[in-house]
Amino acid sequence: MKLYIYDHCPFCVKARMIFGLKNVPIELVVMLNDDEATPTKLVGQKMAPILQKQDGSAMPESMDIVRFIDNQDGEPLIVGKTNPAINDWLRHVNSYANKLLLPRIAEAPFAEFATPEAREYFRVKKQANIGDFHELMQHAPGFIKNISDDLRQLDKLIVKPNAVNGELSEDDINLFPLLRSLTLVSGIEWPSRVADYRDNMAKQTQVNLLSSIAH
C-alpha cells in the first residue's frame, strides 16, 4: 500500500498514525505541493492524504483511512471514549494556530517544497486565505504566548502519556497532529504532561516531530 502525503499536513499525520500504531507497513509518497495531476488521477481532485490500496483503488479522507486500517484485522485500537473538552480545546486553538504555523511551514525544508515552484504555490494559496506571512510573523510573539497558555489548559486534560483519555480514541488522532505541527515553532512553553504525551505519541505512531527544524 502507498500513502500519498505532504509532510507538513496534519490530516496526513492522522492517516500516518494508524500505520505506526498497528505496525502496518506503508510506503509514504510525498507529493510536490504544486502537483495537481497525481491526486487528481487518483481521486479526482487535489487533496491529501490518499491511500492507494493493494488492489490499486484509492481512498481519500484521513479518518476514513484510519478506520479502514484500524478495522482490517478485526481488532481495532481506536476504541476509547472521546472527551468533549478536548474537542473544545482543539476548536479554540485551531481558530488561530495557522496564523502562527503557515508562515513557518512555508520556510521549512519539507519534501513537498523541493522545488521553488512548489513552495511558491503553497505560499500564494495560503496567503490568499489567512493574510500576508510577513505581517503574521510580526504577531508571532502574541500567538506563541496564547499557545503556551492554552497548552497549560490542555495539561489538565491529559489522563495518560500514551492516550489522552486513558485509552486510545479519536481524540488522540485529532490532537497529536496539531501538537506535532507546533514543534515547528521555537519559543513555545510545553507543560510536562503535554510534552510527555507528545513524545510518547510520536514514538507509538512512528511519526517524527519537527523540533529539529523548529524556527
Question: How do the domains of the chain map onto residue ranges?
Answer: 2-71, 84-213
Q: Which three cell numbers stand for residue 181?
A: 505541527
Residue 116: band (very low, low, confident or very high) from pLDDT cuts 50, 70, 90:
very high
Please tell me the CATH code under which domain 84-213 is placed: 1.20.1050.10
pLDDT digits (tens, 9 = 90+) for 57-91: 999 999 999 999 999 999 999 999 999 999 999 99
2-71 folds as Glutaredoxin (3.40.30)
pLDDT digits (tens, 9 = 90+) for 118-165: 999 999 999 999 999 999 999 999 999 999 999 999 999 999 999 999
* 64: alpha, beta or left? (left if phi > 0; alpha if psi -120 to 50): alpha
CA distances from 194 to 68, 175, 187 (A): 28, 11, 15
pTM given for the model: 0.96
Q: Quote the CA–CA distance of 102 and 100 in Å, as a whole number.
A: 6
Torsion of CA 146, 62, 80, 161, to 10 degrees: -50
Helix (H, G, I), strand (E, B) or coil at 66: helix
pLDDT for position 138 = 95
Fold match between domain 2-71 and domain 84-213: no
- 62, exposed or middle or buried, with CB in 10 Å at 0-12, 13-18, 19+? buried
